[in-house]
Amino acid sequence: MSKKSFLLLITAVSALGGLLFGYDTGVINGAQFYLSKYFILDDVMKGLIVSSALYGCLFGAILAGPLSIKLGRKQSLIISAILFAISAYGSGLPELFPQTISTLIFFRVLGGLGIGIASMNAPMYIAEMAPSSIRGKMVTYYQLAIVVGFFVVFLATYFIGNNLSEADNIEFGWRRMFWSEIIPSGLFLILMFFVPKSPRWLALKGKDTEALNVLNKIYEEETAILELQEIKKSLNKNNKQEKVNYFSKVILGIVVIGTVLSVLQQFTGINAVLYYGADIFEKALGFGKEDILAQQILLAFVNLIFTFVAMFTVDRFGRKPLIYIGSIGMIIGFLLLGISLKQEAVGLVSLIGVLIFIASFALSMGPVVWVILSEMFPNRIRSVAMSVAVAAQWAANIVVSQSFPVVMGSDVNNGSTWNGSLPYFIFIVFILVIVFVTYKYIPETKGKSLEEIEDFWKKD
């Protein structure tokens, strides 16, 4: 197998963690309509079941740092695959087992733990394996996998739901929707046993021979030796201080910058659009119930196409230019949606606004944030720093997911001044903040080795 094929293979396998991320967070959208009727849920309990996985994601991201340091990136991803499989089966326990609301929430939280662990370790693993010249593209495979997961799960739930009567869907169709995740999670688990450990983690643990063996599969022999020397040089510099002081001015500053960027990804409003797409299409855009699933598939398709655009431009244009371009597009999209709602002229312009927003997010803040987070942290603190940034991102996801329907239903939003458009203008303000933070604090990491990026912070 050629070195390029080997790198592509291990990237694709680890990116399956992203596919399960998208699949697991998306499957609840299709299943909740029927399980809500099965359990006769009120709005509070429905919200709890839908959001339960997010709390698991938050704690999973917190656990991911210590797990990654102790067991490594590969073993952490294997643990996440096991959690995905258990969650998929347990969420749809068959009739002969006493499935209750409590057990459903328990298994959804387990799935969330898997997402949290994978969302930190998968992009970091890819970044630590890939050469600097194509690292952006390789890490973008992770975001592509997330988007593919969303798209596939919408198709899967549509296929399952359409081939059963409503009574059958209420009785057991929603269980099959959850069980459909067993196939990709099982595949992910099996394939992870065949990928190597991260060379940077191996070097961190003093296993230089193993690290060089892995690097030789990716680089030519001389380049592999130089790469290992750079890694060891970076680690030796940090080892002089022996214990990392996370509250030092430099390290705390790096962690804060990465965390702010990670949080701002959620404050674009992306998950408000994805999680509550059905409500937006039905209430804000005036679509009928029979059209909602088709519209969501359209969103997922646009998301997928423009993630491909990001993949083939992130190493050519750079990280920061894509964020600027995408931010302008997101603002235009939400302006079209917000103004059409404000003027009570919902229709095609509103839909175009949503699609422009999705496309712009998919070529910028969606994949690029994962690329930057996986690159920007020094070797010594990468696991802990990325764990903090990803945990904060999930916390922000919870805040947006919980507050969006509250703001949407508020008297202020539905009064004559805003006519349902207020949330989208709030998101525009945060997108402007993204432009400022990117310009002021985010380094351009295109074409630089992880060790060169580490030196940037020391000079700054």
Total-model pTM: 0.83
CA-based torsion, 11, 446, 354, 57: positive or negative: positive
| Chain segment 340-361, per-residue pLDDT in tens | 889 888 778 888 898 999 999 9
Encode 221-241: b = buried (16+ Cβ within 10 Å), e = exposed. Answer: eeebeebbebbbebbebeeee
Query: C-alpha 396: how far from its chain's center?
Result: 12
Question: Is the pLDDT reported for residue 458 higher than 70?
Answer: no
Please give the full DSSP string across 340-364, using - where no structure is assigned: HHHTT--SHHHHHHHHHHHHHHHTT
Answer yes or no: are the C-beta atoms of 378 and 454 closer than 8 Å. Answer: yes
SS3 state at 449: coil
Residue % of the chain over a pLDDT of 90: 52
CA angle 376, 62, 378 (to 5 degrees): 20
- Per the prediction, the chain carries an average pLDDT of 87
pLDDT value, residue 177: 92
pLDDT of 236 reads: 75
Of the CA atoms within 13 Å of residue 290, those in its CB half-sphere come to: 0
DSSP per residue, 85-106: HHHHHHHT--TTS---HHHHHH
Nearest to 250 by CA among 393, 404, 385: 385
Half-sphere exposure of 149 (CA within 13 A, CB side): 28
In sequence order, what are the residues at sequence separation of 6 or more whose Cβ sits closer than 8 angstroms to the Cβ of residue 334? 269, 353, 357, 424, 425, 427, 428, 431
Q: What pLDDT was estimated at residue 57? A: 92
Closest of 170, 165, 169 to residue 41, by C-alpha? 170
Q: What is the pLDDT of residue 406?
A: 83
All domains of the chain in start order, with CATH? 1-195 (1.20.1250.20), 241-460 (1.20.1250.20)
CA 121 – CA 347 distance, rounded (Å) = 41
Length of the chain (residues): 460
pLDDT band at 281 (very low <50, low <70, confident <90, very high): low
Q: What CA–CA distance (Å, rounded) separates 329 from 434? A: 13
Q: Retrieve residue 428's tokens.
A: 């525009």
The token pair at 410 is: 């508020």
> Could you give the CA distance from residue 195 to residue 74 in angstroms, rounded to a whole number?
8
Q: Per residue in 391-403, is it b (16+ CB within 10 Å) or e — as a string?
A: bbbbbbbbebbee
Higher pLDDT, 429 or 172: 429
Say which residue, 1 or 459, is predicted with more confidence: 1
Phi-psi region at 164: left, alpha or beta (left = phi > 0; alpha = psi -120 to 50): beta
Residue type for 252, please?
Answer: L
Chain segment 189-248, per-residue pLDDT in tens: 999 999 999 999 999 899 999 999 999 999 999 999 999 998 888 777 655 555 667 778
Residue 329 to residue 368: CA distance in whole angstroms: 15
Question: What whole-number distance in Å separates Cα of residue 102 and Cα of residue 104?
Answer: 5
- Helix axis angle, 221-239 to 208-216, nearest 10°: 140
222: which 2 tokens? 């001389």
| Residue 69 tokens, joined | 């340091």
Give ∠ CA 169-57-429 in degrees, rounded to 5: 100
Is residue 48 very low, low, confident or very high in pLDDT (cuts 50, 70, 90)? Answer: confident
